[in-house]
C-alpha cells in the first residue's frame, strides 16, 4: 500500500478541521443578540440553498424528492427547536438561546457530507472521473435540504418572534 505525503497530511489534518468547524459552530449556538438583518439573511441564504438546486433538479426526480424531503424534515425539526428556544426581552435588547445540540447536529450533517465529497474528489484525481456536482447525489441533496430547511425556518421563526414583539409594543 503506497500512501503519499498528501494523503497522510489529509488523514492527519481532517480530524483537526472537523474539530475546528465543530467548535466554531458550537460557539454560535449560545445566547445571542437578536439582530433582524441577520434573521433576514438566514432566510435568504438558506432559502437560496433550497431554491437553487430545486431549479436544477426538475429532470432528476429522486434527487428533487430528497431535497424536498430533507427540507420538510429540517423544517419540522426547526419548529421543535423554536419551541425549545429561550427568548429574552431585556433592557439591553432582545436575545435568544437556541437549542445548541440541534443546531450543531444540522450544521455538522452538511459539513460531513461536503467533507466526504472532498475526499471523494481527492481519491478520484487523475483517474479520469469528473468531479461530482452537489446536485448529482441523492444523499447530498437530503443533507442540503435538512440543513437549509432547518436554518431557514428557524430564522423565519426568529423574525416572527420579533414581529410579535413589535406588534405588542404598538398595541400598548
Express each pLDDT in 27-37 by its tens digit.
888 999 999 99
Confidence of residue 88 (pLDDT cuts 50, 70, 90): very high
Which cell numbers in the block locate residue 74? Answer: 429540517
Of 96, 115, 125, the closest CA to residue 21 belongs to 115
- Backbone angles phi and psi of 128, in degrees to 5: 80, 10
Q: Which of 105, 104, 80, 84 lies closest to 96, judged by CA? A: 84
Residue 168, pLDDT above cutoff 70? no
- Tens-digit pLDDT profile for residues 112-141: 998 888 888 887 877 777 777 778 899 999
User: For the residues 148-159, what does the mean pLDDT come to?
Assistant: 97
With beta carbons less than 8 A apart as the criterion, state whether 107 and 70 touch.
no
Between the alpha carbon of residue 100 and those of residues 26, 86, 122, 152, the distances in Å are: 7, 11, 32, 16
Q: How many CB atoms lie within 10 A of CB 76?
A: 13
Q: Is 165 exposed, middle or buried (0-12, 13-18, 19+ CB in 10 A)?
A: middle
CA atoms within 13 A on the CB side of 57: 24
State the pTM of this model: 0.86
Q: What is the mean pLDDT of the chain?
A: 89
Q: Which residues contact 107 (CB under 8 A, 6 or more apart)?
A: 25, 147, 151
Amino acid at each position: 500500500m503506497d500512501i503519499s505525503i498528501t494523503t497522510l497530511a489529509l488523514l492527519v489534518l481532517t480530524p483537526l478541521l472537523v474539530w475546528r468547524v465543530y467548535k466554531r459552530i458550537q460557539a454560535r449556538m449560545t445566547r445571542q443578540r437578536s439582530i433582524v438583518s441577520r434573521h433576514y439573511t438566514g432566510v435568504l441564504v438558506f432559502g437560496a440553498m433550497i431554491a437553487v438546486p430545486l431549479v436544477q433538479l426538475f429532470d432528476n426526480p429522486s434527487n428533487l424528492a430528497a431535497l424536498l424531503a430533507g427540507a420538510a424534515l429540517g423544517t419540522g425539526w426547526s419548529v421543535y427547536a423554536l419551541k425549545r428556544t429561550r427568548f429574552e426581552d431585556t433592557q439591553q435588547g432582545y436575545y435568544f438561546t437556541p437549542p445548541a445540540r440541534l443546531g450543531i447536529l444540522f450544521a455538522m450533517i452538511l459539513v460531513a457530507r461536503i467533507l466526504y465529497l472532498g475526499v471523494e474528489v481527492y481519491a478520484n484525481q487523475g483517474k479520469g472521473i469528473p468531479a461530482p456536482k452537489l446536485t448529482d447525489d441523492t444523499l447530498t441533496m437530503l443533507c442540503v435540504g435538512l440543513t437549509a430547511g432547518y436554518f431557514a425556518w428557524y430564522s423565519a421563526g426568529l423574525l416572527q418572534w420579533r414581529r410579535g414583539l413589535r406588534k405588542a409594543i404598538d398595541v400598548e
